[in-house]
């Protein structure tokens, strides 16, 4: 039997192994791009934003359904659609980084991230029990507070974030939210 073709050390096998080694080394080199690095500010931005979105969705869902003012219903519907898309993106980034969706509630973890007001059960109860113009005023006030908190979180990301797509998202969200805040302020001053 001719071992030069089929044997362990034959030239065909050595050539095939050399080719395989070259292909493997080429695949480890410049072919695949590494994802940009992220930092703690990026993770905190996503986690805090997801919590703020969840709170805002509670208000916006009720406002979309019950607001007397069509502009308030329109802003609420806009927010719900944007938050759905943004939260999907945020969750996917956190999962790809193997980071928790929710921020660590331990004391001190949020030092330097501001003292942002969270929606309370009493706030939602007041919204649900309000009627007519009182409902619209309460919904506007709660949405303004929520959007303000969101903009503050986005500004922290813009200043301290390292992951370019998250910094870009924060900038886009800031511009959009500021426009929505202006619309809500106009509603508040008209009532």
Residue 93 has a pLDDT of 98
Asked whether residue 5 carries a pLDDT value surpassing 60, the answer given is: no
Instruction: Give the chain's mean pLDDT.
Output: 86
Residue 142 has a pLDDT of 97
Please give the average per-residue pLDDT across 125-146, as a whole number: 96
Indicate whether 6 and 76 sit together in one domain.
no
Least trusted range by pLDDT, from 6-20, 72-86, 177-191: 6-20
| Dist. CA 134–CA 191, nearest whole Å | 10
Indicate whether 85 and 112 sit together in one domain.
yes
Percent of the chain predicted with pLDDT > 70: 75
* DSSP for the chain, written as a single string: --HHHHSTT-HHHHHHHHHHHHHHHHHHTTTSPPPPP--HHHHHHHHHHHHHHHHHHHHHHHHHHH-SSHHHHHHHHHHHHHHHHHHHHHHHHHHHTT--SSPP-STTTTTTS--PPPPPHHHHHHHHH--HHHHHHHHHHHHHHHHHHHHHHHHHHHHH---HHHHHHHHHHHHHHHHHHHHHHHHHHH-
Asked whether residue 110 carries a pLDDT value surpassing 60, the answer given is: no
Indicate whether 30 and 44 sit together in one domain.
no
Percent of the chain predicted with pLDDT > 90: 71
Q: Residue 120 belongs to a domain with what CATH number?
A: 1.20.1260.10
Indicate whether 16 and 70 sit together in one domain.
no
Asked whether residue 26 carries a pLDDT value surpassing 80, the answer given is: no
| Dist. CA 136–CA 188, nearest whole Å | 9
Indicate whether 102 and 162 sit together in one domain.
yes
Indicate whether 80 and 13 sit together in one domain.
no
Indicate whether 21 and 87 sit together in one domain.
no
> Pick from 170, 161, 181: which is nearest to 56 by CA?
181
Looking only at Cα atoms, what is the longest distance across the chain?
97
Please give the average per-residue pLDDT across 42-62, as a whole number: 97
Residue 16 has a pLDDT of 55
Indicate whether 132 and 182 sit together in one domain.
yes
Domain count, the chain: 2
Indicate whether 67 and 30 sit together in one domain.
no
Residue 104 has a pLDDT of 79
Q: What residue numbers bound the domain in which 6 lies?
A: 1-34
Please give the average per-residue pLDDT across 2-25, as a whole number: 57
Indicate whether 23 and 62 sit together in one domain.
no
Indicate whether 58 and 100 sit together in one domain.
yes
Indicate whether 58 and 109 sit together in one domain.
yes
| Dist. CA 120–CA 29, nearest whole Å | 52
- Name the more confident of 120 and 94: 94
Residue 133 has a pLDDT of 95
């Amino acid at each position: 039997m001719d071992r030069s073709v089929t044997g362990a050390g034959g030239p065909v096998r050595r050539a095939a192994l050399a080719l395989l080694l070259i292909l493997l080394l080429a695949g480890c080199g410049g072919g695949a791009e590494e994802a940009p690095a992220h930092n703690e500010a990026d993770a905190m931005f996503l986690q805090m934003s997801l919590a703020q979105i969840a709170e805002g969705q509670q208000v916006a869902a009720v406002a979309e359904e019950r607001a007397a003012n069509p502009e308030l219903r329109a802003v609420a519907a806009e927010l719900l659609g944007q938050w759905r898309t943004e939260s999907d993106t945020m969750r996917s980034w956190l999962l790809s980084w193997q980071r928790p969706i929710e921020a660590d509630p331990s004391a001190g973890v949020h030092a330097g991230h501001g003292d942002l007001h969270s929606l309370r059960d009493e706030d939602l109860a007041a919204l649900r029990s309000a009627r007519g113009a009182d409902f619209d005023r309460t919904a506007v006030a709660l949405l303004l507070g929520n959007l303000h908190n969101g903009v503050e979180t986005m500004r922290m990301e813009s200043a301290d974030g390292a992951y370019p797509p998250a910094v870009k998202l924060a900038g886009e969200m800031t511009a959009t939210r500021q426009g929505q805040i202006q619309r809500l302020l106009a509603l508040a001053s008209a009532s």
